[in-house]
C-alpha cells in the first residue's frame, strides 16, 4: 500500500512538473526567399520527429513568418519573445534578417540560432546569437581557392547585390582571397528585385572574364545567368549558398547548367551517420532530396534541443524560470562541441560561429532531381589564405 502510494506520488509529481517549452522558428515563409524558409521548416519538422521532448518536457514549435522583410524580421522576434514566451529561437535564414532580428534578440536576452546566416556581423559582439553554419570570410575564401586552383580562373567579374549584407560581405572576402592568389576581380552592382541586368552584363563582358561570380540569391542569380548567356558569355558561372534552391534551375534553365557554387552540405556526400538517417526520413516525408537549408535547420533544432537538455540537467528548476533558462540556453549553445548533425560534426566557437568545411556543388540541369546539384568538391578551413 505504502509502495503504491509512493508510485502514485512520483507519477503525479512528474506529470505536474512536466512543462511545455516553446521554441520559436522565425523564417521567410512568404515573400522573396520563401523557398528557403519552406525548406528550413521541413528540416525542423524532421528534427522535431526525432526529438519532440527535452528532459521530460514537451517542446512546442511556434512558426512565425518574417515575410522576407527586415522590419518583419525584427517584429517577429519581439512577438516570439514577448507574446509567445519562447525559450529560444531558430532563425533566421538571410543574414540581413538575422541582423535585424538579432538586434532585438540580443536586447531581450533571448537566444537565437541561425541555421544559415553567414555574414560575420550576425554574431559579432553578441552573446545570445549563434549559428550552425560557417561564416563568409571562409565561404568567399573557399570560392577563391576553388576558382583559382581547381578551375584555373584568373579574371573574374563579381555581381554584388548592394541590398544584401550577405552579398556585399561575400564579394569582399572573395576579392581579398582571389587577389592574394594573383587573380583579377572587377565588380558590378545590382539590387534585390531587379529583373533587367543587361547593362551590368554588358559592362562585365567588356572585361572578358573567365568567370562571373554572383554573390546574391537565386531569383536574381538565375536571371543574371540567363542574360549573360544570351549576350554570349561562355565562361564559368560561380556563386555561393544563395544558389542552393531548386528554383535556381526553374528560373535559370539551361543557362545555369555547369554553374559551381559553394554551400554547406550535399545530400550526395553524406557527412555523418545522422546525415544518412536524415536524408532517408526527409525523402520519405517530402518525396524529394533535402537541400542544405533543410539540413542546417534540422541541425539548428537539434543543437538547440541538446543545449536545452544540458541546461536543464544541470539545473532542473530553470524550467520554472523562463529568463534564467534563456540565459543558460544561450551559454550552452556556445558549449556545443563535436555535435553530430546532418551537415557534419559541429563545434560552435566562442564567437557563436560553427567551424566547418565548405562544399562545392555543380549544377546539372538535365540530371535526375537528386543529382541536379551534384557534389563537386570540398574546401577545408586550413586551405583558406587568411
Ligand atoms: N548565407 C546566406 C545568408 O546569409 C543564406 C541564404 C541563402 C539565405 C539564400 C537566403 C537565401 O544570407
- pLDDT tens, 180-195? 999 999 999 999 999 9
DSSP sequence for 315-359: -GGGGG-HHHHHHHHHHHHTT--SEEETTEEE-B-TTS-B--PEE
The answer on pLDDT for 14 being more than 90 is no
Write b or e for each residue in 3-13: b if 16 or more Cβ atoms lie within 10 A of its Cβ, otherwise e: eeeeeeeeeee
What pLDDT sits at residue 2? 59
Query: Are 28 and 83 contained in the same domain?
Result: yes
Query: Are 116 and 31 contained in the same domain?
Result: yes
127 grid coordinates? 552573446
Query: Are 122 and 17 contained in the same domain?
Result: yes
Average pLDDT for 324-329: 98
- pLDDT tens, 215-268? 999 999 999 999 999 999 999 999 999 999 999 999 999 999 999 999 998 877
Q: How far is the CA of 44 from the centre of ligand 1 (A)?
A: 17
What pLDDT sits at residue 173? 97
Query: Are 111 and 145 contained in the same domain?
Result: no
Query: Are 170 and 317 contained in the same domain?
Result: no
Query: Are 54 and 76 contained in the same domain?
Result: yes
Q: Is the CB–ligand 1 distance for residue 241 below 6 Å?
A: yes
Are 34 and 68 in contact by the 8 Å Cβ rule? The answer is: yes
State what percent of residues in the chain have pLDDT above 90.
87
Substitution site in 37, 40, 95, 243 for ligand 1 pocket (most atoms within 8 Å of beta carbon): 95
Average pLDDT for 344-367: 94
Are 26 and 91 in contact by the 8 Å Cβ rule? The answer is: yes
Q: Is the CB–ligand 1 distance for residue 36 below 6 Å?
A: yes
Distances (CA, A) of 148 to 100, 143, 185, 231: 35, 8, 12, 25
pTM over 0.75? The answer is yes
What gap in Å lies between CA 306 and CA 298, rounded to an integer?
12
- Spatial neighbors of 14 by CB under 8 A, at least 6 apart, are 56
What pLDDT sits at residue 138? 94
Average pLDDT for 184-212: 98
For residue 346, give the CATH number of its domain: 3.40.50.2300
The answer on pLDDT for 292 being more than 80 is yes
Query: Are 142 and 180 contained in the same domain?
Result: yes
Q: Is the CB–ligand 1 distance for residue 116 below 6 Å?
A: yes
Indicate the pLDDT class of residue 1, thresholds 50, 70 and 90.
Answer: low
Distances (CA, A) of 368 to 31, 323, 326, 362: 28, 49, 45, 14
What is the residue with the minimal CA distance to atom 4 of ligand 1?
117
Q: Which of 1-5, 62-66, 164-168, 179-183 has the lowest mean pLDDT?
A: 1-5
What is the residue with the minimal CA distance to atom 8 of ligand 1?
94
Number of domains in the chain: 2
Average pLDDT for 346-354: 95
Q: How far is the CA of 196 from the centre of ligand 1 (A)?
A: 22
Query: Are 119 and 174 contained in the same domain?
Result: no
Instruction: Specify the pairing of strand 53-54 against strand 57-65.
Output: antiparallel
Q: How far is the CA of 314 from the centre of ligand 1 (A)?
A: 35
Distances (CA, A) of 151 to 46, 274, 358: 37, 32, 16
Substitution site in 117, 160, 167, 292 for ligand 1 pocket (most atoms within 8 Å of beta carbon): 117
Query: Are 69 and 155 contained in the same domain?
Result: no
Query: Are 41 and 155 contained in the same domain?
Result: no
What pLDDT sits at residue 9? 56
Q: Which of 90, 96, 133, 123 is nearest to 359 (CA)?
A: 133
Are 51 and 309 in contact by the 8 Å Cβ rule? The answer is: no
Q: How far is the CA of 145 from the centre of ligand 1 (A)?
A: 21
Query: Are 349 and 366 contained in the same domain?
Result: no
What gap in Å lies between CA 62 and CA 22, rounded to an integer?
7
The answer on pLDDT for 44 being more than 60 is yes
Q: Is the CB–ligand 1 distance for residue 95 below 6 Å?
A: yes
Indicate the pLDDT class of residue 70, thresholds 50, 70 and 90.
Answer: very high
Are 79 and 64 in contact by the 8 Å Cβ rule? The answer is: yes
66 grid coordinates? 518574417
State what percent of residues in the chain have pLDDT above 70.
95
What pLDDT sits at residue 13? 53
Query: Are 42 and 151 contained in the same domain?
Result: no
The answer on pLDDT for 324 being more than 90 is yes
Q: How many helices (H) and strands (E) does the chain have?
A: 12, 15
Indicate the pLDDT class of residue 18, thresholds 50, 70 and 90.
Answer: confident
Substitution site in 96, 118, 219 for ligand 1 pocket (most atoms within 8 Å of beta carbon): 118
The answer on pLDDT for 325 being more than 60 is yes
Are 347 and 354 in contact by the 8 Å Cβ rule? The answer is: yes
Instruction: Specify the pairing of strand 53-54 against strand 339-341.
Output: unpaired
Q: Which domain holds residue 349?
A: 2-134+272-355
How crowded is residue 14: how many other Cβ atoms within 10 Å of its Cβ?
Answer: 10
Q: Which of 114, 145, 35 is nearest to 378 (CA)?
A: 145
Q: Which of 268, 263, 269 is nearest to 143 (CA)?
A: 263
What gap in Å lies between CA 233 and CA 227, rounded to an integer?
9
Could you identify the atom of ligand 1 that is nearest to the CA of residue 244?
A: 9
- Spatial neighbors of 55 by CB under 8 A, at least 6 apart, are 308, 309, 312, 313, 316, 319
What pLDDT sits at residue 356? 86
Amino acid at each position: 500500500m505504502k509502495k503504491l502510494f509512493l508510485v502514485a506520488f512520483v507519477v503525479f509529481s512528474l506529470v505536474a512538473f512536466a512543462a511545455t517549452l516553446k521554441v520559436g522558428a522565425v523564417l521567410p515563409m512568404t515573400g522573396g526567399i520563401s523557398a528557403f524558409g519552406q525548406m528550413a521548416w521541413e528540416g525542423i519538422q524532421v528534427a522535431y520527429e526525432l526529438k519532440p521532448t527535452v528532459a521530460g518536457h514537451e517542446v512546442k514549435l511556434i512558426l512565425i513568418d518574417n515575410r522576407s522583410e527586415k522590419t518583419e524580421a525584427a517584429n517577429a522576434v519581439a512577438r516570439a519573445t514577448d507574446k509567445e514566451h519562447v525559450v529560444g529561437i531558430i532563425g533566421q535564414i538571410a543574414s540581413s534578417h538575422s541582423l535585424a532580428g538579432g538586434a532585438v534578440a540580443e536586447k531581450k536576452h533571448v537566444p537565437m540560432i541561425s541555421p544559415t546566416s553567414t555574414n560575420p556581423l550576425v554574431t559579432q559582439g553578441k552573446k545570445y546569437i549563434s549559428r550552425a553554419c560557417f561564416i563568409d570570410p571562409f565561404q568567399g575564401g573557399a570560392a577563391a581557392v576553388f576558382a583559382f586552383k581547381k578551375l584555373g580562373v584568373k579574371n573574374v567579374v563579381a555581381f554584388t547585390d548592394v541590398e544584401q549584407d550577405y552579398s556585399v560581405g561575400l564579394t569582399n572576402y572573395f576579392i581579398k582571397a582571389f587577389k592574394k592568389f594573383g587573380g583579377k576581380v572587377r565588380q558590378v552592382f545590382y539590387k534585390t528585385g531587379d529583373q533587367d541586368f543587361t547593362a551590368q552584363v554588358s559592362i562585365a563582358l567588356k572585361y572578358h572574364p573567365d568567370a562571373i561570380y554572383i554573390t546574391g540569391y537565386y531569383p536574381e542569380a538565375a536571371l543574371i545567368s540567363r542574360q549573360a548567356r544570351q549576350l554570349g558569355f561562355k565562361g564559368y558561372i560561380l556563386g555561393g549558398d544563395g544558389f542552393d534552391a531548386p528554383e535556381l534551375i526553374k528560373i535559370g534553365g539551361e543557362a545555369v547548367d555547369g554553374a559551381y557554387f559553394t554551400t554547406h552540405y550535399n545530400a550526395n556526400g553524406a557527412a555523418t551517420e545522422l546525415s544518412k538517417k536524415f536524408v532517408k526520413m526527409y525523402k520519405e516525408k517530402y518525396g524529394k532530396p533535402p537541400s542544405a537549408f533543410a539540413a542546417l535547420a534540422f541541425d539548428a533544432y537539434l543543437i538547440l534541443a541538446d543545449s536545452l537538455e544540458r541546461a536543464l540537467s544541470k539545473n532542473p528548476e530553470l524550467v520554472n524560470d523562463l529568463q534564467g533558462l534563456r540565459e543558460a540556453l544561450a551559454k550552452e549553445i556556445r558549449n556545443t562541441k563535436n555535435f553530430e548533425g546532418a551537415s557534419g560534426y559541429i563545434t560552435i566557437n566562442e564567437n557563436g560561429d560553427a567551424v566547418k568545411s565548405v562544399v562545392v556543388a555543380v549544377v546539372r540541369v538535365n540530371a535526375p532531381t537528386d543529382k541536379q546539384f551534384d557534389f563537386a568538391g570540398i574546401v577545408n578551413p586550413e586551405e583558406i589564405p587568411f
